[in-house]
Structure 1
């Protein structure tokens, strides 16, 4: 029977969001490659230093509210209370404004001491100041976007997200091309963030207009019943605090690593450059496959909330099972392919031989972090924000301890971060799984989630490795050899899964 995509179905939402994520991740990767080639590893390191501040302010103001609006809009939509969806969005926006204004003002006023004493480099100050308006428009965008996700109308945010990436590339690369020549590192970072501000103004304006067109005004707002402040806070506060604490701990990692590398024997500029290569090039390369499951997480939270509101425990277990199956089937082979050709592709794209450092060591922890992330998302959808918060904090503490103890050791350096990332990911994965099992009584499906995809991946990786080496030795260029090998590996992988009885027809059905 042919597979039909109903525009109101979760499968349609996931397919559309997955395609969107692949396009935006691809564009984003091209953008990152072009930017790194234009500005160099040191400026990339400075740019990475200011991003934790972005994450901290977002955690304090918007992250919790986006989850709250997604969950509550899904619940009200399932119960036919469209007026409450609109009123809840308005209340969440007012809460965001109330939180952002004092925090944003404090961030601008304190940009000098933050750049010097917290980030350890005064050249980050201009970027910090420009981050504040960027975060303001990002918050408006994300709250509207997650309201769309909650009610299952994914086409408007999907379209805006794709256009947003194009605008970001055009704005940032255009500013760098025309104005970066001869500028200091601080002003170059400022140009990058200024381009981000332009992009966020565009996307937030589009989503507000699309919300008014598609969702607002369907029912009279005179008797609208928004979620109570207590209800919103019960969701937003645990999620926001988790994100905040996690961001603070990961920010401590980001700030400490260059300083600890100096203690280990590097000079300051080389330490910033090494940090920029690992966090601005190697790790983004490994996380490219995450685009394939980003849609699963976006759809999973409102769908689980809907199942809980309708008292459907079997649907909860079925949706979590399919999300984990999708994670295995989609992420595992791409991670294996990057392990095979990643070092060569990294040098080819970024022009820096350091991109391949630690790529193979990080590949398995990155794969496991995909499972950890989807289970953490499930906990948020199951109203277990507290468990997700506890587990995330423990993981971040473990990572910070390993970083502080090992990176400073001469001869260890960044490998200490890699070891900490691996250990913390395993701990987080086990903790999230236990919390999900306790809540849902879901059973571990070893064969479909692990054995079948792993066997197919191993066979694919071995064949791709042999074919890639054969083609390169035969005089075929690296890009063409990679494309041929990837294409052959993909076909082989799908056939191997089907021979093992894994159904790909239900892969995107979180229903």
Structure 2
């Protein structure tokens, strides 16, 4: 197995994430047009339960595996890697048996006291098998990420998404003729099959390129660290992450219940409330989080990279990673925020055939930068062994969100837009708190000059798109694409002209860097 550089690993995950996110949009577009906003609401209602169960089952171990394996590899300690994996397998296997059994035997309680719409019950039953599959997959993903080999994880995502799309295409299209409830359950079965395919792919990859005897052939037979020390190291990261995920999952599980009650208090029926929640969670929010495919890749790679830098007493590399992550996040989030704010309704119309999703999206889009910044900042804190701080900041944001949902969504003149306002306030506050602590521990290494130049390029992009679409009422699809594509070309050209992107740093991109650098040379004033 070839260990990859920080940039290479991030790029691999980024490309795979972009492919799977586009595939995910294809699947959501098809599913939305097949079962509508109400069916999407039924599909989305059970996801908070899945998140809550997975919090207990995985117990924060995948992230701990990633960090500790990276440290052990840096110290050439093969015995410690084996111990980490064996302990993790026993913990996750035990928790999987316990919680999948509980999900099945408590299905009556969930139906009558948890699900805000009883039609989501078949989807809940179809979801139970996916818990054990995701739990085992998380072990392999954590192992490969700790080895800083992101290719198997990236390829598994694409394979998994392909199976999911094909499965849903067949199953949901068949069962929709019976009812929306069965169609939503069929969509969940597609997810189960996709996760199973991804797991099998990771198992094969571990046998082919992930054997420890090949990766650390000259390692000592015994580790200097005791089993108790290994457990303590795992607990230091896993417990805060687990507690954070647990609290956040409880908050997320409470969200659809509070949303439905708030919307009913605002005067909406159960059916309309379910459809509105489906528009927010199944349509608007996936569009909003699309750019996090880039920054999420950075976050995944930051944990082992920062942990390895700290283990090697090279903290200056952590400051470099902070500066790189901040600049990369701004480059992605600023233009995306402009596009989603300006064209929220036309995009919703052409993608989902639901223009009413536009206002829900437009409320959150201006705060895109803070949403994208969350992942890299949390990754740095976890790599620094400060997962408890990230946990506290996440909880603060989650509690704020629920409080604002109760306050705003129940108001008849605000309604579902109150959920968007609450969501934007939540991730903005959490990101600002995380940023304050990262700067406190690492130092202020953010390149403000580069940030200002990116903002100038984004403003120019906004002005261009405003001029292009000024005289249009109902924006035609061709004009929309011309404005967006032209805006991004102008934005990239300005980044080159303002020396945010240079041939020197572009050339460092693995494999395609020299080719991209040759293109950039043609941009006026680029260097």
Query: Which bracket does the TM-score occupy, shorter chain normalised?
Result: over 0.9
Aligned to 2:479: 481
In the alignment, does 2:408 pair up with 1:406? yes
Higher relative contact order (CA 8 A, sep 6+): 1
Kindly indicate whether the alpha-carbon contact (under 8 Å) linking 2:461 and 2:491 is maintained by their aligned counterparts in 1: yes
Which stretch shows the higher mean deviation, 248-257 or 496-505? 496-505
Aligned to 1:268: 270
RMSD: 2.4
Of 313, 316, 339, the residue aligned with 1:314 is 316
TM-score using structure 2 length: 0.90
Aligned to 1:3: none
Of 36, 59, 62, the residue aligned with 1:66 is 62
Aligned to 1:187: 182
Aligned to 1:203: 198
How far, CA to CA, are the matches of 2:342 and 2:91 in structure 1?
A: 47
How far, CA to CA, are the matches of 1:265 and 1:135 in structure 2?
A: 37
Kindly indicate whether the alpha-carbon contact (under 8 Å) linking 2:116 and 2:257 is maintained by their aligned counterparts in 1: yes
Kindly indicate whether the alpha-carbon contact (under 8 Å) linking 1:45 and 1:275 is maintained by their aligned counterparts in 2: yes
How far, CA to CA, are the matches of 1:222 and 1:196 in structure 2?
A: 42
Which stretch shows the higher mean deviation, 320-329 or 400-409? 400-409
In the alignment, does 2:431 pair up with 1:429? yes
Which stretch shows the higher mean deviation, 436-445 or 158-167? 436-445
- Within 5 A, what are the aligned runs for 1:87-166? 87-166=83-162
Of 376, 379, 389, the residue aligned with 1:377 is 379
Give unpaired runs (5+ residues) of structure 2: 511-527
Which stretch shows the higher mean deviation, 320-329 or 356-365? 356-365
The C-alpha deviation readout for 1:376-423, integer Å capped at 9, x for no partner, is 221111110110011111111111111122221221212222222233
How far, CA to CA, are the matches of 1:215 and 1:495 in structure 2?
A: 41
In the alignment, does 2:343 pair up with 1:348? no
TM-score using structure 1 length: 0.92
The C-alpha deviation readout for 1:448-480, integer Å capped at 9, x for no partner, is 23x22111111112212322456x68x9x9443
By how many angstroms is 1:173 displaced? 1.9
How far, CA to CA, are the matches of 1:309 and 1:355 in structure 2?
A: 47
Kindly indicate whether the alpha-carbon contact (under 8 Å) linking 2:8 and 2:509 is maintained by their aligned counterparts in 1: no
Aligned to 1:461: 462
Kindly indicate whether the alpha-carbon contact (under 8 Å) linking 2:96 and 2:135 is maintained by their aligned counterparts in 1: no
In the alignment, does 2:214 pair up with 1:212? no
Aligned to 1:493: 491
Of 412, 437, 440, the residue aligned with 1:438 is 440
How far, CA to CA, are the matches of 2:508 and 2:54 in structure 1?
A: 31
Which stretch shows the higher mean deviation, 108-117 or 215-224? 215-224
The C-alpha deviation readout for 1:184-241, integer Å capped at 9, x for no partner, is 3332222111111111111111111211221125168994657722221221111011
* Partner SS for 2:131: helix
Kindly indicate whether the alpha-carbon contact (under 8 Å) linking 2:115 and 2:121 is maintained by their aligned counterparts in 1: no
How far, CA to CA, are the matches of 1:371 and 1:8 in structure 2?
A: 23
- Within 5 A, what are the aligned runs for 1:213-292? 213-218=208-213, 223=221, 225=223, 228-292=230-294
The C-alpha deviation readout for 1:50-89, integer Å capped at 9, x for no partner, is 0001110111122611101110111112222244334422
Kindly indicate whether the alpha-carbon contact (under 8 Å) linking 1:369 and 1:425 is maintained by their aligned counterparts in 2: yes
In structure 2, do the counterparts of structure 1 residues 374 and 222 end up closer, same or farther at CA, with 3 Å as the change threshold? Answer: closer
Kindly indicate whether the alpha-carbon contact (under 8 Å) linking 2:159 and 2:197 is maintained by their aligned counterparts in 1: no
By how many angstroms is 1:243 displaced? 1.0
